[in-house]
A and B are shown apart, each in its own frame.
Chain A
Amino acid sequence: MPGRARTIVTGVIGSDTHIVGNRILAMALEKAGYRVVALGALTPAADFVRAAVETRAEAILVSSLYGQGELDCRGFRDLCVEAGLEDILLYVGGNLVVGKRSWEETAQTYLEMGFDRVAPPGMRSDTVIEWLERDFAARERGLRRAET
């Protein structure tokens, strides 16, 4: 859709108040030309989906930093499917590794939940923006997301 900014929903899921990283990401996305609907801290999963429906968002970026992300994010893709957003891009990031689990194992868990990209701790917002660009470009070629 040339000439029209894509809309992205961001927020911190569950009973999590860590808002700073999410704010920085939202500012970077806006600077990159996206329309950002920033839901802030303490956001229930259903609110991400409702916001995305109403604003016709093309991606939802979920942050979780307090160690309960896996519980909060379970069923997230199903909620999207239920609301008619089966194809929306879903990214998750923050402090997702809990205990002695490896990063690979953690990332795999989230991918299986239906997230398209899983960001490790310390991820730069530039990388997220590159992912988005590649994935949106891939979508225009009819793919679900970019290979890398």
Chain B
Amino acid sequence: MNAALLIDFGSTYTKLRAVDLGERRVIGAGQGPSTVTSDILLGMKAALADLERRCGALPHFRYRLASSSAAGGLRMVTVGLVRELTAEAARQAALGAGARLVGTFAYRLTPADLERIAQLRPDILLLAGGTDGGNAAVVLHNAAALAAGALECPVVYAGNREAADEARALLGEKLIACTENVMPEFNVLNIEPARAAIRRVFIDRIVHAKGIDRAAAEFDAVLMPTPAAVLEGARLLADGLPGTRGLGDLLVVDPGGATTDVHSVAAGEPAAGVVRQGLPEPRVKRTVEGDLGMRHNAAAIASAAGLDAIARDAGLDPERAGALLAEVSADIGRLPANAEETAFDQALARAAVRIAVERHCGRTEIVYTATGPVTVQHGKDLTRVATVIGTGGALVASAAPRAVLAMALADPANPFALRPRAPRLLLDREYVLYACGLLQSVEPQAALELALGNLSELDQDTAHERTRHA
């Protein structure tokens, strides 16, 4: 058998997937604790034993590929000049690299900013600022300030090309990579080189710094941070390969315990007659909603959506919903144990998906001009996206995943939010998107077919599901 082992060194669990590359199917899954704080090998061994228990003697694995979100994930701080321009471009580059963004800064760094950055203890700092040939003073001020400060982490420079040499001299050994500007010209986004540089630093340095390479005997390579694997999987699934069509424009929603991630692969060009404003967004875009998490941030979901609305959606009275909210917030490992708790979790997930997708997608507004009304678009128009995929534990465990995922769809009551109108809804029951993202680096064709063949179609609403109509 031609098999691959895919490893996710997570913050809570070490998760394994064994894949039969010839048959394009998942053989089995195994799980152990995350032991990155003691010896990562222990959790890995436990996970392997679990995998063996579930699917019998393990085959020889041709590839053993890993991703990691252990030890706090890839913690990053980004620094740019204007908040809406190079600072935003730097943010997009870090998110696209799969980072956990812990701070974003703009303009000249102050002593207080530097102190804050040192407290945030990033693994990598991305320094941008100025278009090529544009402002150099601020990025150089920031390079000098970072060089003189207490910051210990490596710096990736992706700012004004004209200032790169001077920045390199200022930063000395703190500078680990110098790459193309995230915004070489005004309003032109160029985040791929910075993404690639961040990923290289992650592989070369961070994997070791976090002690993950202590399990090196059990894997061939740690390729990327875990969120980047899902994004790479989504990209391949959308684009396909020569000879094998992909699914075209798509959106992936992952409501997790601490955050809700949304990925889109779509240009999101405005419809005819609509004027686009603001910074163009990357075609492969990832957003992370740090305030929408099913457990760690359940209270934040309730405050964003309104506890009354969540109670109504769950069919509970507000007091009961409030009590349940207190319970899940206090016990983050809790799984729903009865019908009431299941309904409450379902309502939380629905709210998280609705708000996260609304923030990810673009929006329009009507501007009244002397020559009549004009529609202006900010962000990406994802109304014509053909496929929406749900992934992650909250959706896979849900009894009515379609009702959760349908919250990603356009709402006639809010026509200005450019969410998908009539997509196919798919569920990633076996985490194949993640597996596809890792495998595409070695066997792209098998990776693509694995993902194409193993996503389940969510059928039309069953009677007990409440969905709204797009």
Contacts and interface: CB of A to CB of B under 8 A. Distances in A.
A50 B134 contact: no
Contacts of A7: 133-134
B277 A54 contact: no
A41 B275 contact: yes
B101 interface: no
B410 interface: no
A42 B376 contact: yes
Interface stretch (B79-87, B112-120, B261-269, B343-351): B79-87
A53 B136 CA distance: 10
B369 interface: yes
A30 to B, nearest CB: 13
Interface in A64-89: 66-68
Contacts of B84: 50
Chain B's interface: helix, strand, loop or mixed, by majority?
loop
A66 B135 contact: no
A15 B369 CA distance: 5
Interface string B213-242: 000000000000000000000000000000
A66 B369 contact: yes
A54 B86 contact: yes
B314 interface: no
A17 interface: yes
Interface string B361-402: 000000111110010100000000000000000000000000
A37 B82 CA distance: 16
Interface residues of A, number: 18
A55 B131 contact: yes
A51 B368 contact: no
B369 A16 contact: yes
B367 A42 contact: yes
A7 B85 CA distance: 17
Interface centre among B86, B277, B374 (most CB of A within 10 A): B277
B183 interface: yes
A139 interface: no
6 closest cross-chain pairs (CB), A and B: A55-B134, A66-B370, A56-B135, A15-B369, A37-B186, A56-B134
Interface of A: 4, 7, 15-17, 35, 37, 41-42, 50-51, 53-56, 66-68
21 contacts: A15-B367, A15-B368, A15-B370, A17-B371, A17-B374, A37-B185, A37-B186, A42-B277, A42-B367, A42-B374, A50-B82, A53-B135, A54-B82, A54-B130, A54-B134, A54-B183, A55-B130, A55-B131, A55-B133, A56-B135, A56-B136
Given A15-B370, A54-B186, 14 more contacts: A7-B133, A15-B368, A15-B374, A17-B369, A17-B374, A42-B277, A42-B376, A51-B187, A54-B135, A54-B183, A55-B130, A55-B133, A56-B134, A66-B371
